[in-house]
Chain A
């Protein structure tokens, strides 16, 4: 599903990021609907979005964006989000929002996040709060053994395996583990999973990397 192009003119604020990284831990807040994000190997910035109205956010590799390829992250109807963007290579991303949205970038390094996990601290990989319509879905990023999802649904959401998700898209058959109110799930394998809204309402969830995850996937392949 594509929900672009944008209605408004683009603001390219790559310079803002240069300010962020030169300013150490200080974050620069700005309002954007397009941003070019350049990362060096080992970087792990966290992008923080806030919006009074639901906004669709997509993040493309710059090369893919120029070629009309799909995004690597696609989050519909977002009210608030924090997304860690770890990179092992030099890479440029294009962040697009369907309407101007408040955004700040918190700089960070992969090694620092890994060190926190080694010390037993859970590290947030993503937090998303969105206005869930029936049928709104998101792939939960980078699932692995030990990865934890904590959340809350005003309506009802289901966490579906890839097979269940495909069946749901084909026939509308709801399957998987479904939750209303607060929910928690710890994953025990690497299979892809999806969060699907089956009853409307605001949904928020956070994905955490844990020491258990680190001991299952390692730091070196």
Chain B
């Protein structure tokens, strides 16, 4: 039994300790209020994480949310699946496509990562189907099972990475919380890599007609089948204003279609029209090659016209210039956008606004963004996304004190079909400040050899990210 003096001493100690804790909480709260996260801080993340752990009671409570096996439902308590361990930065990554997956794989493999980070990857799909091959699905040059990777493959080290199969509904940057259909998670660092969405709402009447495009594997397969079924009539393709995901793809799909129609002996019965919101085919350095092939294949190319309306009754599209085109088969790609939860959080108008060197969002110093949804000079492609993910891993590793300097330069290479056997090529590299490196872009004329190069690279990508 304790004596009065002992009790008094314990009370004093508890009072002092309580005062210290309360002081820390109040001080941290005042500090957080005085120095909002919109400010660019130069202190290391480790310091900020320590502060967060002190302030946020849930950070301690939710330490029980240990890594679950890949693809398992995470441990959820009070609707919260935060994975927070003392002394480690709790990184949440939304999206496990090439950008997110390459970020995770690169960071998790760095020496010291186990001691410094936990990474929660939130991805709604169990399988990633290579976007590069969507065009192949239209042309019948590739099968889906050849180019699919299991997303759980991003969990190379379960002590560092876990995968949560869930859909993000919103993010709360002010309070560092991500909400999903499986509950919420807090974060110290958030990496946005969810890809783009199509602004179908912008084209009046589009939702009332069947519109298959190559920006979704199912749509691409359906488009390929529809082309082969069409005995006669008009096929109308539509390209949105640049920038959009996979700039050469609309022209590739159009040329592959023309190639199929020619092989089926229907060139005199099927008319192909390509309506382009841009002044010439994209990307600019490949415009000449595409234009020559469009002419050669008898495609009617209509530049400087943006599809704004679809009349389901008349089966007609209308452009901003008032031009009208009848269709029997429609394939219009709407303008690309960052997903709604990013735009609603004030991080994007059309694309997510970032610093092109560090990928840090302009609005919040603890949120980064990579991949097709960012506003940057980098091509919206799988290759460029992969190198962005790698560079971001280096940026964050440096910030966490892992002794790494950002050295990866964003790079892209695109092999583009002009028919089912020949592909042109373009290579670009960017300096850290976003300017194109000297000597780029490099463009190569169409060859059959490029087909094998494209397929080999794609297989390598799948293995490196998801094997």
Contact = CB atoms under 8 A, between A and B. Distances in A.
Contacts of B247: 220-221
Contacts of A192: 320
B279 A110 contact: no
A47 to B, nearest CB: 15
Contacts of A191: 350
Contact of A218 (B241, B248, B379): B379
B435 interface: yes
Size category of the binding interface on chain B: 35 or more
A70 B322 CA distance: 8
B19 to A, nearest CB: 48
Contacts of B287: 41, 88-89
B303 interface: yes
Given A90-B291, A216-B376, A217-B377, A110 B284 contact: yes
Contacts of A145: 375
B387 interface: no
B321 interface: yes
B165 to A, nearest CB: 33
A84 to B, nearest CB: 12
Contacts of B356: 215
Given A41-B288, A90-B288, A219 B377 contact: yes
Contact of B375 (A91, A110, A216): A216
A118 interface: yes
B110 to A, nearest CB: 28
Contacts of B376: 215-216, 218
A72 B277 CA distance: 11
A182 interface: no
Contact of B323 (A41, A69, A214): A69
Nearest to B356: A215
B377 A87 contact: no
Interface string B265-297: 000000000000001111111011001000000
B242 A88 contact: no
Nearest to B246: A221
Nearest to B436: A219
Nearest to A145: B375
Given A89-B281, A220-B379, A70 B288 contact: no
B242 A217 contact: yes
A110 to B, nearest CB: 7
A189 B322 contact: no
B379 to A, nearest CB: 5
B280 A88 contact: yes
A218 B243 contact: yes
Given A70-B321, A145-B375, A215-B376, A220 B436 contact: yes
Interface in B427-444: 428, 434-436, 440-441
B242 A221 contact: yes
Interface in B325-371: 335, 349-350, 356
B33 to A, nearest CB: 29
A185 to B, nearest CB: 15
Contacts of B285: 88, 220
A156 interface: no
A218 B288 contact: no
A82 to B, nearest CB: 18
B322 A88 contact: no
A89 B321 contact: no
Nearest to A213: B377
A192 B350 CA distance: 13
Nearest to B426: A220
B316 to A, nearest CB: 16
Closest 3 CB pairs of A and B: A221-B283, A221-B247, A88-B287
21 contacts: A88-B280, A88-B281, A88-B285, A88-B288, A89-B281, A90-B288, A91-B280, A110-B284, A189-B349, A190-B241, A190-B243, A214-B434, A215-B356, A215-B376, A215-B434, A218-B243, A218-B376, A219-B428, A219-B441, A220-B377, A220-B426
